[in-house]
Amino acid sequence: MPPAADSGETIRVFYDGACPSCRRDRRQYERLAGRAADQVEWVDITGRDEELRAKGIDPKTALKELHVEDQYGVIHSELDAYILLMSRAPLLKPLAWLVRRPLIRPLLSRLYHRMVTRRLERTGRMP
């Protein structure tokens, strides 16, 4: 589980910029996050395999799971990455709390992976 968010520090979000729905999700987050969005650096993973590997992120896994580097340099992935990201935005904090719940988390994880797999298969990008 990611540490509590420190809204005074910038985090880096590694996302699939070649994915239209991922770009749409980014814009929606920025709108909902308000000023908190200023402390998020968005990094498009497209063509950055070496940079990802240097951070300990497998490029194929990066297509399947969101990765966030916190202010301490720790990499969080999958739902932990979403929890960290949402925890920084006041409007999304309740959603982050909900995702952490023991009964909800495993269900969301399966749904998340199913949706991502379908998206990658549909676009011919399944690694």
Number of neighbours of residue 119 by Cβ within 10 angstroms:
18
pLDDT tens digits for 59-71? Answer: 999 999 999 999 9
Note the pLDDT of residue 127. 62
Of 106, 103, 21, 102, which Cα lies nearest the Cα of 66?
21
The pLDDT-based confidence of 6 (bands split at 50, 70, 90) is very low
Q: Could you tell me how far CA 119 lies from the centroid of its own chain?
A: 16
Instruction: Check residue 4 and give its pLDDT.
Output: 43
- Stated pTM of the model: 0.85
Q: Phi/psi at 67 (nearest 5 deg)?
A: -125, 135
Residue 76 bridge partners (DSSP): 68
Mean pLDDT score of the chain, rounded to an integer? 90
Give the model's confidence band at 3: pLDDT under 50 very low, under 70 low, under 90 confident, else very high: very low
Q: What is the C-alpha to C-alpha distance for residues 25 and 47, in angstroms, rounded to an integer? A: 20
